[in-house]
Structure 1
Amino acid sequence: MVTRSSLRHLRIPFSFFLMPVFFFALALTPNLNEGRLVLVFLALHLFLYPSSNGYNSYFDRDEESIGGLKNPPKVTPDLYWISQLFFVIALILGASISWDFAGLLGIYGLVSMAYSHPSIRIKKYPWLSWVIAGLFQGYFTFAMTYMGLSELDWTVIFKPHVVIPGLLTSLMLWGNYPLTQVYQHREDARRGDQTLSRTLGIKGTFAFSSVFFALTGACFVWYFFDRGQSSMVWIYLSAMAPVILFFLVWFFFVRTNPEKYASYSWAMGMNSLSAIFLNAFFIYYFIENTQILQVFAY
């Protein structure tokens, strides 16, 4: 029997926060096909990510707020099997595109399991978990998405035109990842997980993220100039302005009272605002880069 608790722990709406990577890959795809677009989107956002969320929740058994759930319900045994079922469905959808794509989905799923499984639990190693989370949710996912959308073989993930934008998405996530942990220090300490945010401290987390946000912005500016798309620079910076303003305001309040303002509500506000503007920007970039509206016009 599937419980309501397990469905909530899948946190399907949370996939919205990872969609910018999909839309960025979509904008650069040279061989766009509507059927593959739907299959890749469903495999990632409806099945693979929720599978990872559920599996993580099953072993974490959080009692305090987690990403997407302010008050997580009690974990029930069926959550493990539902997360595995979602993983299998993701693989089946991936295989309908290519075995290479299914293979990369499988690698992502296994790494996400290792992240939270007690026998390995990458999550408890601060720097290793930071590198792996940013690398796999960023570059690896970008490359996997690009490959699936274009129906290319796995070797494309090592091509410079895939590696460079893929690493840009990792930079975004390496900046944001510690911020998702600032309100979980007590919960992580209870489980013995020495997360990066606990290692850096609350104020240190914000200082660390600010450096990576600046680096990410500079690299994206270089990327668009290098592609001869200077107009995109200003649109990108305009899209990021509200996010950076929110971050700076949040940082100001955290410096005055870390315990009060390093909270779930502020962290989810930051995630939501960032996802909204990044999704909007990359959808716009997809429209402009592919000139898809002109195609439909004819």
Structure 2
Amino acid sequence: MFKKSSWEHLRIPFSFYLMPVFLFALATVPEVDTFRAIWVWVILHLLLYPSSNGYNSYFDKDEKSIGGLKNPKKVTKGLYYLSQTFFFLALLLSTLLGPVFLFMVLVYGLVSMAYSHPAIRLKKYPFISWLTAGFFQGAFTFGMCYEGFSGSGLAELAQKEVWIPAMLTSVLLLGSYPLTQIYQHEEDLKRGDITLSIKLGITGTFGFAAIWFLLGGLAFVQYFMSMNLSSAIWAFLFAMLPVVGYFSLWFLLVQKNPQKYVSHQMAMWMNKISATALNLFFIYLAMHG
């Protein structure tokens, strides 16, 4: 029942691009329980995210490149059942980490379904989908990881030491999210999904992302200053150099030849460079912060 194509649509390697939130939460939690941290990583990156990817692919039925798949194969009903199986396993394993973490995994999964399912399909509303993705893949996931690591309960998540860095992750995602849509205008319009990138246009998408990246950078610097982590500021700025460099080069290339450079390949390189830079930085922060 579970064909090879269904497993491919789970896009498990794509979870690498979502790992910075996990690592940032790991760097901020006062004491790390290794057992809990491993299970949080397994549940999110090997089960919950792939489940969401597969569910999204099943209802989108993309014929052209998507995040993590250059040439997606035709989806089958088996993909739907496989994504639900992964979601069930994520919920089952979440019971090991307590009711609050279990509830947050459930909420994340249901929101991701609402994002894609035709009955609700938040994806077709440009600003709602932008805010939903930015909040749930950023701040909410940060809180989910923090709770998974510590098991301290909802009261701890309301502390500024937790929600301030959580919101910082959302700021970065609010900038990068439209860039992930920039090469999918034709596919999205075919389905009637008016994404934020379509609303902004190609140049507008780059300008919008640049503003949010600047705001995010300033917010991170201010956060590290408030935490007395001056060394982290320089490490963060150094990590962002290749990201800013690639983003600028991509924009210049798009201005010269949008048909060639507004592509899946260019967008994926943006993801690879930014995720790698942030993953390395947050590992550094966890070790030296």
TM-score higher than 0.5 here?
A: yes
Shift of 1:155: 2.8
| Distance (Å, rounded) in 1 between the aligned partners of 2:198 and 2:164 | 30
| Distance (Å, rounded) in 1 between the aligned partners of 2:213 and 2:97 | 35
Please say if 1:59 is aligned against 2:41: no
Q: Secondary structure at the match of 2:56?
A: helix
The one-letter code sitting in structure 2 at the alignment partner of 1:114 is A
Partner of 1:148: 148
| Distance (Å, rounded) in 1 between the aligned partners of 2:120 and 2:157 | 27
The one-letter code sitting in structure 1 at the alignment partner of 2:3 is T
Partner of 1:121: 121
Q: Secondary structure at the match of 1:38?
A: helix
1:48-197 correspondence runs (5 A): 48-197=48-197
Q: Secondary structure at the match of 2:97?
A: coil
Q: Structure 1: where are the runs of 5+ without partners?
A: 290-298
CA deviations on 1:44-95 (whole Å, 9 max, x unpaired) are 0000000000000000000000000000011011111110110011111111
Q: Secondary structure at the match of 1:30?
A: coil
| Distance (Å, rounded) in 2 between the aligned partners of 1:236 and 1:42 | 27
Shift of 1:158: 2.1
| Distance (Å, rounded) in 1 between the aligned partners of 2:54 and 2:85 | 11
Task: Give the TM-score normalised by structure 2.
Answer: 0.99
Please say if 1:211 is aligned against 2:211: yes
| Distance (Å, rounded) in 2 between the aligned partners of 1:190 and 1:157 | 41
The one-letter code sitting in structure 2 at the alignment partner of 1:249 is L
CA deviations on 1:112-137 (whole Å, 9 max, x unpaired) are 00000000000000001000100000
Q: Secondary structure at the match of 1:104?
A: helix
The one-letter code sitting in structure 2 at the alignment partner of 1:233 is I
Partner of 2:285: 285
CA deviations on 1:142-188 (whole Å, 9 max, x unpaired) are 01100110111123222211110001000110010000000000000
Q: Secondary structure at the match of 1:200?
A: helix
Partner of 1:21: 21
| Distance (Å, rounded) in 1 between the aligned partners of 2:93 and 2:193 | 34
The one-letter code sitting in structure 2 at the alignment partner of 1:252 is L
Residues matched between the structures, number:
289
The one-letter code sitting in structure 1 at the alignment partner of 2:33 is N
| Distance (Å, rounded) in 1 between the aligned partners of 2:156 and 2:115 | 26
Instruction: Indicate conservation of the 8 Å contact 1:203/1:258, yes or no.
Output: no
Instruction: Indicate conservation of the 8 Å contact 1:48/1:86, yes or no.
Output: yes
The one-letter code sitting in structure 1 at the alignment partner of 2:191 is R
Partner of 2:42: 42
| Distance (Å, rounded) in 1 between the aligned partners of 2:132 and 2:252 | 29
| Distance (Å, rounded) in 1 between the aligned partners of 2:80 and 2:56 | 9
| Distance (Å, rounded) in 1 between the aligned partners of 2:153 and 2:234 | 35
Shift of 1:34: 1.1
Instruction: Indicate conservation of the 8 Å contact 1:26/1:149, yes or no.
Output: yes
Q: Root-mean-square deviation (CA), in Å? A: 0.7
Partner of 2:264: 264
Shift of 1:257: 1.9
Partner of 1:12: 12
CA deviations on 1:176-204 (whole Å, 9 max, x unpaired) are 00000000000001000000000000110
Task: Give the TM-score normalised by structure 1.
Answer: 0.96
Instruction: Indicate conservation of the 8 Å contact 1:10/1:50, yes or no.
Output: yes
Instruction: Indicate conservation of the 8 Å contact 1:224/1:232, yes or no.
Output: yes
Partner of 1:296: none
| Distance (Å, rounded) in 1 between the aligned partners of 2:158 and 2:141 | 13
Shift of 1:104: 0.3
Instruction: Indicate conservation of the 8 Å contact 1:10/1:83, yes or no.
Output: yes
Q: Secondary structure at the match of 1:201?
A: helix
